[in-house]
Amino acid sequence: MSRHALTLGLAATLCACANTPSPASDARPPASADSSTQTQNPLLAEWTGPYGGVPAFGEMDLSDVEPAATQAIAAHLAELDAIANNDEPPTFENTIVAMQGAGEAMERLQVYMGIWSSNMSTPQSREIFGRLAPKLSEYRTKIVQNAPLFARIKAVKESPALAKRSAREQRLVTLVYNRFARQGADLDAEGKARYAQIQSRLAELHDAFGNNVLADEERTIELGPEDLGGLPESFKTAIKKDGEDVWVLPNTRSAMDPFLTYSTERPLREKVWREYYSRGDHGDEHDTNALITEILGLRHERARLLGYDNFASWRLEDRMAKTPARARELMMKVWPAAIATAKDEVAAMQKLADAEKAGITIEPWDYRYYAEKVRQKTYALDSDEVKQYLQLEQLREAMFMVAGELFGFAFTPVPEGTVPVFHPDVKVWEVTDAASGEHIGLWYLDPFARPGKRSGAWASTYRSSHTYDGKVTVLVSNNSNFIKAPPGQPVLVSADDASTFFHEFGHALHSLSSNVEYPGLAGGVRDYTEFQSQLLERWLFTDAVINEFLRHTETGEPMPKALVEKIRKASTFNQGFSTTEYLASAMMDLELHTIDPAGLDPDTFERETLAKWGMPKEIVMRHRTPHFGHVFSGEGYAAGYYGYLWADVLTSDAAEAFAEAKGGFYDEAVAKKLVEHLFAPRNAVDPAEAYRAFRGRDADVSALMRDRGFSK
């Protein structure tokens, strides 16, 4: 999923992400009094060096964070005050455009803080960010509660002159206005005071939740030689402790998933399963249940304060879904088919286990193990066999090829030492227009798991493109948690992880293809922005990728056609499991944010709600409530995790557009429309309008049902 380094709410809309100075203009506020001292702090200094300037990752020092935050907050608030107190009547230029150029120092600080919180977390950094959380919350609240500033924004929105501006400029004004209005700019003094208190406390709670889950993710399980039954050699090699007969299993999905798929040691499978799915739920100092109850209560109170029935109603108002009812309606169209398919999958697994005289009833820790057996029996498809053709470096080159064919991008390695990086594992590529050679931006890759790095995979945009004050190029990164292979050996990844690699690269391409004029249009609507990345997954098993890049790790031979055919025949295999585990999390997220959470016990609520929905006992939520970081370590996906399904409807429908085209997934005409309407505009165009411009109609949910094998 896309993750900007450290989302500060308004900052993404109000601040420019560029390091390059803007031309002199009466629209830009005067420099703050302490601007000279800002440049002395490496975390605030303008980015210098090649490619339009790059983050000074080599100069990062945690001791600079707190003074940098103090300076950046003061500078940004002073810049906004200068705009608010301008004696000239409010105009688009002296108010909206001026706001786009404010807060550049804070934008730079966000990038560094994002690295420490996601890629290089330490107890010291977590302590510092914990102290900063309420200060940053107060800063964001001061922005939305700046009454003179909001009055100017409102005046611009209501001015007859706005109608003469472009559709994109009108959208920018609407986005800025709504951001203020939806965060309490119109509240009375008492309401504003309570809103600020809620925001400050939520900032502390989100930070604490993330830290608690990360602490549980740092737990490991040590294995001896007797514990390795069934595990692939490549996996055993990857987790072996140097120089010892000890194998260390990290508490991450990338390690848990293959272990549960292949291990013949059922008691160990249960242990690993419980360790992973009990993150945040151990009843110890890292337990998150009390935090969840308080978070939900404060979100509900804040929504009521703003005039909404519940948090979900507030959250979805500016999404494609618009209302919780529409989001729930979509999920409930899919849920019955998903659980019915999952029950069929369990029945097939139980039949196989009985035939083997295993003497067991399928439990959650057996699901992946027996699903793999059924896959091999039904399709003669061995996941480990497929993995031998999925080398990390080759997958990366395949992504570059796809980006070249669809977007016209070329990727060239940047010589080591040219661009600072925050860890030796990080590599950098320059992105150019393949036809003209024009510089587009830089792509950073941080591929491997390590202590202090949060689990999963994500994309971070260090600098967004915009043109209103001169062409600014993109700096974007992809971050994964692949297990590093021993020196000299290729990194092999599962088909699921390969798909995720393409997915996150889709987020990077979304940033790299941007053609927006203003930074405030570079964001996105959450239940739409996952669409572009989900769509890119479809190119993984296209013929062009298979024939050139999916080659056996030892022989170098391309993936044989017989194996490709097996993969395609098995494309809907296990969709009951994957859809059910995801939907359970999405539905739970929405449910938690539509109820009055007073006195809620999260564990009890989760258990009783799943039972009400008929959740198969053999499947667990993809993200159980106690470690649902998407929802409780911040608000980016809160009441919005359904968005992956919403986006997948668009994905399935758009994929059919390519499948129907003469040139298939590399059809030039469809690719041109894809980039023009669905990637390049970012949030400058309403998502529904953008999709209709691409497809000629709205997306059809039946495409999703066909895609997952739910349509008979």
Given a cut of 70, whether residue 35 has pLDDT beyond it is: no
Give percent of the chain with pLDDT exceeding 70.
Answer: 94
Tokens (6 digits) for 501: 């690699």
DSSP code of residue 357: T
pLDDT at 495: 93
- The model's pLDDT over 63-111, given as tens digits with 9 standing for 90+, comes to 999 999 999 999 999 999 999 999 999 999 999 999 999 999 999 999 9
DSSP 149: H
Instruction: Say if CB 396 and CB 543 are below 8 A apart.
Output: no
pLDDT at 3 > cutoff 90: no
pLDDT score of 121 more than 50:
yes
Using CB atoms within 10 A of its CB, is residue 219 exposed (0-12), middle (13-18) or buried (19+)?
A: middle
Cα-Cα-Cα-Cα torsion 505, 5, 17, 317, nearest 10 degrees, comes to 90
In a domain, 80, yes or no: yes
Largest CA distance in the chain: 84
Q: Tens digits of per-residue pLDDT, 616-649?
A: 999 999 999 999 999 999 998 999 999 999 999 9
Asked whether the beta carbons of 476 and 460 are under 8 A apart, the reply is yes
Is there a domain that residue 418 lies in?
Answer: no
Q: How far is CA 444 from CA 163, 420, 475, 573, 611, in A?
A: 41, 11, 8, 34, 44
Give the pLDDT mean for 581-597: 98
Is 349 part of any domain? no
In a domain, 30, yes or no: yes
Look up tokens 């993109």; give the residue: 474
Angle of helix 65-84 relative to helix 123-144, nearest 10 degrees, comes to 10
pLDDT higher than 50, residue 27: no
Q: What is the CATH number of the domain that holds 86?
A: 1.10.1370.40
Across the chain, what does the average pLDDT equal?
Answer: 92
In a domain, 84, yes or no: yes
The pLDDT of residue 40 is 81
Q: What is the pLDDT of residues 396-450, one digit of tens each?
A: 999 999 999 999 999 999 999 999 999 999 999 999 999 999 999 999 999 999 9
Query: Taking the C-alpha atoms of 312, 313, 317 and 323 in order, what is their torsion angle to the nearest 10 degrees?
Result: 90
- Judged by DSSP in three states, 263 sits in coil
Please check the confidence at residue 21 and state whether its pLDDT lies above 60: no
The reported pLDDT for the residue numbered 2 is 35
Pick from 176, 359, 177, 405: which is nearest to 266 by CA? 359
Q: What is the pLDDT of residues 531-550, one digit of tens each?
A: 999 999 999 999 999 999 99
520 has a pLDDT exceeding 50: yes
How many percent of the chain have pLDDT more than 90? 89
What pLDDT is stored for residue 712 in this prediction? 52
* End-to-end Cα spacing for the chain: 31
Among 179, 197, 354, 335, CA closest to 705: 335
> Exposed, middle or buried by CB within 10 Å (0-12, 13-18, 19+), for 197?
middle
100 located within any domain = yes
Helix H or strand E encompassing 76:
helix 65-84
Q: What is the pLDDT of residue 526?
A: 84
Averaged pLDDT, 289-294: 98
- What are the φ/ψ torsions at residue 493 (nearest 5 degrees)? -125, 160
The sign of the torsion formed by the CA atoms of 371, 373, 379, 384 equals positive
pLDDT value at 692 more than 70? yes
Q: Is the pLDDT of residue 509 over 90?
A: yes
Which residue range(s) make up the domain with 167? 11-186
For residue 590, give the nearest of 335, 289, 310 by alpha carbon: 310
Q: Which position has the higher pLDDT, 4 or 553?
A: 553
Give per-residue pLDDT as tens, 293-349: 999 999 999 999 999 999 999 999 999 999 999 999 999 999 999 999 999 999 999
Angle at the Cα of 591 (from 586 to 596), degrees rounded to 5? 150
Domains in the chain: how many in total?
1
In-domain check, residue 384: no
pLDDT at 23: 28
Q: Which of 411, 650, 663, 388 is nearest to 543 (CA)?
A: 663
Q: Is the pLDDT of residue 652 over 90?
A: yes
Range of weakest confidence among 21-35, 243-257, 674-688:
21-35
Is residue 646 within 8 Å of residue 586, measured between CB atoms? Answer: no
- The alpha carbon dihedral of 293, 298, 301, 307 has a sign of negative
Query: Would 655 be classed as within a structural domain?
Result: no
